[in-house]
Amino acid sequence: MRDAVLGWFDVHGRDLAFRRTRDPYAVLVSELMAQQTQIGRATEAWIAWMARFPTVRALAAASPADALRQWQGLGYNRRALNLHRAAKAIVAEHAGVVPDAVADLQALPGIGPYTARAVAAIAFGRPEGAVDTNVRRVLGRAVAGDPARLDAAELQAIADAAVPRDRPGAWTHALMDIGATYCRPATPRCDACPVRPWCRFAAAPPPPRSRAAPGTANEPHFPGTTRWLRGRIVDRLRATDGWATFDEPMGEHDEGAVERALHGLAREGLIELEPGAGSGMRARLPVA
């Protein structure tokens, strides 16, 4: 199966800009950007980010506000702060050199087990099994027929055992591409998947799941969600130099909801609130 996957990847793997480098910092940026983000959007954002912050030291020397502004359009703004904090930690604790050991990578702010292993495998050629949602689905279906039959430790052990010692980076990218292209959650394309001859899921797939009809409760009304409100607040501050006043409703959210969202963003370090402001609340992106 390993040979078939790598052979398929050599011919059909996605040619993405951030896959053309093994610079550890560039790989770290790409891995954080690509999480829960469409790959096309992540690629464009990565190119722009690397032009703005080409090195760890360049990012560490910038302000959190600079990082948040450059992150616009990617969502999950906390990742921008984590990346900025990780850069400062790399400079302070590792002399500006991204560490190559999983334990050291995972000790950086906001870097979880998947990202640490992905950077170790792709940038440093270490035989580490990076397990995200796609990889869990591909390997879990192939080995057990259903990822739910394996706990996290079992899946990680399988992922580590499967990694080819000579091509861990290509293997990591290949499983990602197969998960995105063929081994989809609801509509898998088992007929074309290179894993099919060894896959227990493909041998006996479950019946297709029904999809919710349009207009049901499963479809969130985005302007009414807290996530929408938080995103609009940060977007407004991105377009503002200095302080901005929030004294009116935003979308479907009244002044009280806006105030609660502002306090929540401030607790997470995504914004700063001006102390002792008069009417309304004043906020800005963090500058230090």
User: Which residues belong to the active site?
Assistant: 31
Q: How many CB atoms lie within 10 A of CB 41?
A: 14
Please give the backbone phi and psi of residue 282, each rounded to the nearest 5 degrees, phi first.
-115, 135
Residue 121: phi, psi to the nearest 5? -75, -50
Indicate the burial class of 206 (C-beta count within 10 angstroms; 0-12, 13-18, 19 or more): exposed
Cα–Cα nearest to 273, from 261, 239, 256: 261
How many Å apart are CA 65 and CA 71, to the nearest integer? 10
Q: Three-state SS for 225?
A: coil
Place of tokens 């450059």: 70
Alpha helices in the chain (DSSP H): 2-12, 24-34, 39-52, 56-61, 64-70, 78-94, 102-106, 113-124, 133-144, 152-162, 168-181, 200-203, 226-238, 255-267
